Amino acid sequence: MWYIIRTFLEFVGLWTLAILALAFDWLPRRIEQETGRRVFTIAALLGLIGRRVFTIAALLGFITCGASFALTVHFMHSTRTPNAQNVELDDRPIPKMYRVYLPLVYKDWIGTQPSPKKGVSSPWTENDAKTLRATWAYNWSPNTNYAWENFEGVPMIWGIGDIDKPLLGNSQYALLFNEPDLVGQANISPSAAVSLTRKIFLAHPDRKWISPAPSQINPAWLMEWRAQYVEAYGEEPPITGIALHCYAFVASDCIAYVRSMVTLAEEWNLDEVWVTEFAFPTGLDRTLADATHELEMFLDYLDDEPRVARYAAYTTRLAGDEFEWGSPDYANIAPLLTYRRGARTPFGRVYAQH
């Protein structure tokens, strides 16, 4: 509900600004030059800041000023300036100012190139990927055949049932088991995973494999699997990188976890870390502004960390009431797009800006 209210207020603020823009042309030229220019310059700056910084100050800037650009065009014309006695004193051209105000229609203003690391999980349509400016995707399945231009589909062997299925998609990479330490997910013990992954590696020797991704509550699963693999076959598993998931209320928790996995990758002589699920939901005492701020900080870290090769937030769309993210039923969910229309949520707007 807050998202709807905020969008409405921003829209009202935008058109209020447009009306005021026309009114400024009727004000005395001195006031127009000295005040109008400053007001609309500040409005434009607040609008641009508000697209990236979700703070009360930026929101107030939107409501009062809207997001707009002011394009000033000066035209010169000749006139005569009479005094109080209607005597012409000067016939030199006096500049008269006309302004064309161009409101920035309510769309996300994005002025940077998207991160080549950024992906999406299970996009419904090509437009989902374009809306979030993603370059790759996976869908927890071997069948990741996204036939979209300049887009990479990465297949995944989610669990035991996928081992003998063909790997589709156009990527040289492939992902292994999804949260094998959890009963409700792949649910595979480290010892069982040893022989299963051996079979997978032999069947697909040309793939660049990314490790299984245990949940963040049991990262030891990954170390146990690798140690047992080495013991069983006398060699390290042929993986290129480590995959991980992280859900938290603050970015610092996930940053610390990713750093620990970066250290582990360095110890194992692996080049890449993939963060294939993460979210910063609302709930408890965390507001939507808090959650989007934490997401922003985490994305900044991921973009700057050289060993992080790929990341994909959870999740693209989610069936249900998109605005009840903080309810008990949506404890760890911060969808990037609304379920029905595929429009960016507050999380999606932050995500698209990276």
Q: Could you give all domains of the chain from N- to C-terminal order, each with its CATH number?
A: 2-103 (no CATH), 118-352 (3.20.20.80)
User: Is residue 269 over pLDDT 60?
Assistant: yes
pLDDT digits (tens, 9 = 90+) for 114-137: 999 999 998 888 999 999 999 999
Nearest to 72 by CA among 47, 102, 43: 102
DSSP letters along 62-83, please?
A: HHHH-SEEEEEEEEEE----B-
> Residues 49-78: what's their mean pLDDT?
42
H-run or E-run covering 288: helix 288-304
- Three-class SS of residue 119? strand
Nearest to 59 by CA among 111, 24, 7: 7
- Three-class SS of residue 245? strand
| Among 175-189, 225-239, 255-269, 337-351, the least confident range | 337-351
> CA-to-CA distance for 326 and 324, rounded, in angstroms?
5
Residue, of 246 and 71, whose pLDDT is higher: 246
Q: What count of residues does the chain have?
A: 354
CB atoms within 10 A of CB 20: 17
pLDDT at residue 122, as a whole number: 87
> Residues 140-161: what's their mean pLDDT?
92
User: Is residue 68 over pLDDT 70?
Assistant: no
> CA-to-CA distance for 308 and 155, rounded, in angstroms?
19
User: Is residue 80 over pLDDT 50?
Assistant: no
Is-contact 165 179, C-beta < 8 A?
A: no
| Among 70-74, 109-113, 253-257, the least confident range | 70-74
Q: How confident is the model at residue 10 (pLDDT cuts 50, 70, 90)?
A: low
> Cis peptide before 315, with omega less than 30 degrees from 0?
yes
**What rounded mean pLDDT belongs to the chain?**
78
